[in-house]
Amino acid sequence: MARLSDVIEDFIKTLLKQSEGELELQRNELAEYFECAPSQINYVLATRFSLDRGYYIESRRGGGGFIRIVQLDLDKDDYLLHLINERIGRTISENETNDIVTNIMERGIITEREALIIKSALTDKVIAIPANLRGVIRANILKAMLVAILRSRV
Amino acid sequence: MARLSDVIEDFIKTLLKQSEGELELQRNELAEYFECAPSQINYVLATRFSLDRGYYIESRRGGGGFIRIVQLDLDKDDYLLHLINERIGRTISENETNDIVTNIMERGIITEREALIIKSALTDKVIAIPANLRGVIRANILKAMLVAILRSRV
DNA sequence: TATTACGAAGGTCAAAGAAAGTCAAAATAA
DNA sequence: TTATTTTGACTTTCTTTGACCTTCGTAATA
């Protein structure tokens, strides 16, 4: 007996193929179609369309709300994906951050100005919260910005 | 399921383009045209034509009343300085941030990709700290990034 | 002429409606 | 048992609607 989550996963992937890697859907509509709880859609998205599987999700609530699924354009051992999923862990220092950002600039992945913007956002001074939390938030933000760079390549 | 507010937004923007950034309209007339409550027009103006998005609204009641929408056009450096020194202040929300960043992108101050990077760094989700602190840190980071942009323009 | 009354705008605010998100308990599969 | 999936109650966000308020111009009135 195929698990419903797998069926929904396949369904979404078929839609994604038809629409060249980008897709907007209605959570409640889909849930109704599969006769399941709306939150099961979230479960499928969280487990099958996660970042390390190469997908990016955004959504909006309220009237006319939607969920957008974007299939990121990446080759298997993408350096950015490696940074996001492995190199940058739960927490990271200002120095490590600067090294990483300089490095991807030198590789031509980002411009000099982008490097400047990213670094300026991640200094100890700017993230003025207790040190133990600071590294965690810095890691969060850095990863989010790298995802944005991944996304902008699509 | 296109939101009516978005349709009205687009309609107004088309009119604005045709009239070179300045436009007068009748609230009731527009509401009748879109078959909606007149107050929905106010909602659209408040959410889509705010100062942060680069528009200025004035209006007059009574016979011969009107609503005037003006698309602002300021000097780029002055506007960045204004944002840094006045607008952003001690704390700022995710939505306000998005409006401001989209706006400076539309003015050609930053690229689309830079806008994406900046916005993604400043979401509630990414700055995962208590809400009262979150806005403060977001304001800090946003200002730091705008300063980086200012410097890289020279 | 000065005042008042009325209709024609636009403004405000809160409630209702329309999505999506979260989280943990219950059910099922490995 | 342990891990994964399914469900449902509750929350948050955004939009739409409607009742009531304020302002302005003009016509009628004192």
Domain CATH for A140: 1.10.1200
Q: Is the pLDDT of residue A23 over 90?
A: yes
**Residue A50, domain CATH:** 3.30.56.130
| Cβ neighbours around B119 below 10 Å, total | 20
Per-residue pLDDT at B69: 98
Q: Is the CB of B125 under 7 A from strand D?
A: no
> Do B140 and B84 belong to one domain?
yes
Greatest pairwise CA separation for chain A in angstroms: 55
Is the reported ipTM for this assembly greater than 0.85? Answer: yes
* CB pair distance less than 8 Å for B128 and A141: no
Instruction: Give every strand in the sheet of A55-60, ordered side by side.
Output: A22-25, A66-71, A55-60
* CB pair distance less than 8 Å for B113 and A141: no
Of B1, B126, B127, nearest to A64 by CB-CB distance is B1
Beta carbons of A31 and A41 less than 8 angstroms apart: yes
> Do B54 and B106 belong to one domain?
no
Protein-covered nucleotides on strand C (Cβ within 7 A) = 7-14, 17-24, 29
What phi and psi values does residue B75 have, to the nearest 5 degrees? -60, 135
Provide, as residue numbers in chain A, all residues whose Cβ is less than 8 Å from the Cβ of B113: 114, 148-149, 152
- How many domains does the structure of chain A reveal? 2
* Residue where one domain finishes, among candidates A19, A49, A71: A71
> pLDDT (tens digit, 9 = 90+) per residue, B89-125?
999 999 999 999 999 999 999 999 999 999 999 999 9
> Do A13 and A40 belong to one domain?
yes
What is the arithmetic mean of pLDDT over B50-73? Answer: 96
> Do A23 and A53 belong to one domain?
yes
Q: Is the CB of B93 under 7 A from strand D?
A: no
* CB pair distance less than 8 Å for B117 and A118: yes
The CA distance from A144 to A83, in Å, is: 11
> Do B54 and B103 belong to one domain?
no
In chain B, % of residues over pLDDT 90: 95
Q: Which amino acid is at A55?
A: Y
> Do A112 and A137 belong to one domain?
yes
* Residue where one domain finishes, among candidates A22, A42, A71: A71
Token pair listed for A101: 């950002």
Burial code (b: 16+ CB inside 10 Å, e: under 16) for B87-114 equals: bbeeebebebbbbbbbbbbeeebbeebb
Per-residue pLDDT at A52: 87
> Do A53 and A87 belong to one domain?
no
Q: State which residues form the domain around A31.
A: 4-71
Beta carbons of B137 and B127 less than 8 angstroms apart: yes
